[in-house]
A and B are shown apart, each in its own frame.
Chain A
Amino acid sequence: MFKLTIAAFSITATLASAGVAVAETDADDRKILSGNFCQNENDEVRYWRGRTENKSATTAYIDCPITRDITITGGKLTSAWAKVVDRSAVESVECTLWSQDGNDISGWGLLSSRRTPVSHASEAVLTLAFDPLDSIGGFGYYSIDCNLAATYNGARSAILAYMITEH
């Protein structure tokens, strides 16, 4: 009987502590978006299996949307990354995370910019990890833009996906 009581108490305590842990992680809003959310203003890219690939012989600029879910003033992006493939041996793939003021056309903001090594050329997926960024007021917004390297011997550089965690 005592063993039963102790076991029941242990299970209750475990569930209670698990409940607390769930509540803490619920404060973070983490989302992964496929790379084909990114937009290109010219006909330089192709979309395939969730990726955006540069099919042109010039660097392709793409702009990737981020939905800001936590709109309280003082929120922030606690982590973010972009998964890219750099197939060029002469150019890097560069991505920048932006946090901008949605109320001020005169413009101010924060950015975190990461790139692959210039000489890197491989089919390997690389992670460009950004630093945390503050949101700007209650109307600020985020985005990621990238410069995808031009095709190199026919090989296309790409963005596969990007992730952001809001808090």
Chain B
Amino acid sequence: MKKTLLLVVGGLAAAVLWRASRPDAPPPPPAQSSETPAPDLAVRAALANVRGDLDRLEARTATLAAAAPAPEATPARAASPAPSPEEQRAAYATRLAAALAAEPFDAGWARAAEAQVRAQIAARPADGVSVASIECRTTLCRLQLEAESTDARDEGLRAVPRWVPWDFDGFYQPTDGDPRRVTLYVTRAEHPLAIGSDE
């Protein structure tokens, strides 16, 4: 049965393609008498059989689809709201404080880095700004700056890229909410700032 069906469908496809490839072919002759059935009648009969098979197949497919369990609805992805600048700052500060605390002390690099920064600050002081502390460990340093005013603080921030004499990434924020005091984290060269920026 299947072989017959395939033969008929194949024949039909071949006939359609053959006709399509000959656009100038004359129209088919009118149907002849029933005593001598024309080839078109045989094709139509075969086509009717194919349509019947197709209808039965579609009905069977519909039955199976109805019996299948419905797919679980995908839960809507809850859009997490972007953090406010205050939340963003707090998150960065928390991560960096934790990262510094967790780092071992690389005595060779840390001591040299602290000495270099102190030397640069001494060579290029910013008026009204003092450095309360410098702490370096393995890939991070934390500097605490204290300024007489916010203007002096800004001069200190402007000087930071010259005070830290290597390529670095950094984060700064007021210390304990006092805008004249700044906590600054800077990285060792070729170490990204661990704040999840690339997540």
B195 surroundings in chain A (CB, below 8 A): 110, 134
- Choose from B84, B88, B162 the contact partner of A94 (Cβ within 8 Å): B162
| A147-B85 in contact (CB<8A) | no
Q: Assess whether B129 is interfacial by the CB under 8 Å rule.
A: no
Q: Assess whether B153 is interfacial by the CB under 8 Å rule.
A: yes
The CA of A132 and the CA of B89, in the complex, are separated in Å by 17
B74 surroundings in chain A (CB, below 8 A): none
| B82-A73 in contact (CB<8A) | yes
Interface residues on B, range: 35 or more
The CA of A6 and the CA of B197, in the complex, are separated in Å by 46
Given contacts A107-B179, A107-B182, A147-B161, contact A134 B167 (CB under 8 A): no
| A134-B197 in contact (CB<8A) | yes
A110 surroundings in chain B (CB, below 8 A): 92, 169-171, 193, 195
| B193-A101 in contact (CB<8A) | no
Interface of B is mostly: mixed
Q: Assess whether A103 is interfacial by the CB under 8 Å rule.
A: yes
| A-contacting residues, B152-199, CB 8 Å | 153-154, 157-158, 160-162, 164-174, 177, 179, 182, 192-193, 195, 197-198
A-B pair number, CB within 8 angstroms:
85
| A107-B198 in contact (CB<8A) | no
Interface mask (A79-106 → B, CB under 8 Å = 1, otherwise 0): 0000000000000001010000101111
Q: Assess whether B17 is interfacial by the CB under 8 Å rule.
A: yes
A145 surroundings in chain B (CB, below 8 A): 158, 161
The CA of A131 and the CA of B189, in the complex, are separated in Å by 12
Q: Assess whether A156 is interfacial by the CB under 8 Å rule.
A: no
Can you identify 29 A-B contacts, CB atoms within 8 angstroms?
A1-B20, A61-B158, A74-B82, A94-B161, A101-B89, A103-B85, A105-B150, A106-B174, A107-B150, A107-B154, A107-B173, A107-B182, A108-B89, A108-B173, A108-B174, A109-B171, A110-B92, A110-B169, A111-B160, A111-B169, A113-B160, A114-B167, A115-B161, A115-B167, A131-B192, A131-B193, A134-B88, A134-B195, A136-B89
Instruction: Name A residues whose Cβ lies closer than 8 Å to a Cβ of B.
Output: 1, 61, 72-74, 76, 94, 96, 101, 103-115, 131-134, 136-137, 140, 145, 147
* A-B interface, 4 closest residue pairs, ranked by CB to CB distance from nearest: A106-B179, A137-B85, A108-B173, A73-B82
